[in-house]
Amino acid sequence: MADETRKIQILKGAAPDLSAATYQIHDESHTIGNALRWMLMKKWSSADTDGLSSLAALLQALKDLDDLCVTIDDAYTQSLQNDKYERWDEKS
């Protein structure tokens, strides 16, 4: 059986209750990291985070990012179906 690498790894130095931790996401570019950081900062920077684990915040940010991607995909698909976009034909 191949060596299995976890998608998300908690790095050394995390608080025992995970109130603070650094996570490593394997096989992803900086794009998802930046999007997750934006989601976290958008929601959690001003919220009362007492008792909230960093893992719970990360999982919620992943869900929020997934929801946002679904919304964008739905709007894009609907726009294509309604034919409401600029057309440009390149002449060779």
Within a domain: 67: yes
Within a domain: 91: no
Within a domain: 43: yes
Which CATH number goes with the domain that contains 26? 3.30.1360.10
Dump pLDDT digits (tens) for 29-73. Answer: 888 889 999 999 887 766 666 667 889 999 999 999 999 999 999
The number of folded domains in the chain is 1
Dump pLDDT digits (tens) for 76-86. Answer: 898 888 876 77
Q: Would you state the structure tokens that stand for residue 23, as one six-digit string?
A: 């996570």
Within a domain: 88: no
- Global pTM exceeds 0.85: no
CA distance 55 to 69: 21
Question: 55: domain range?
Answer: 8-81
DSSP string for residues in 10-55: EPTT--TTSSS--EEETT--HHHHHHHHHHHHHHHSSS--TT--HH
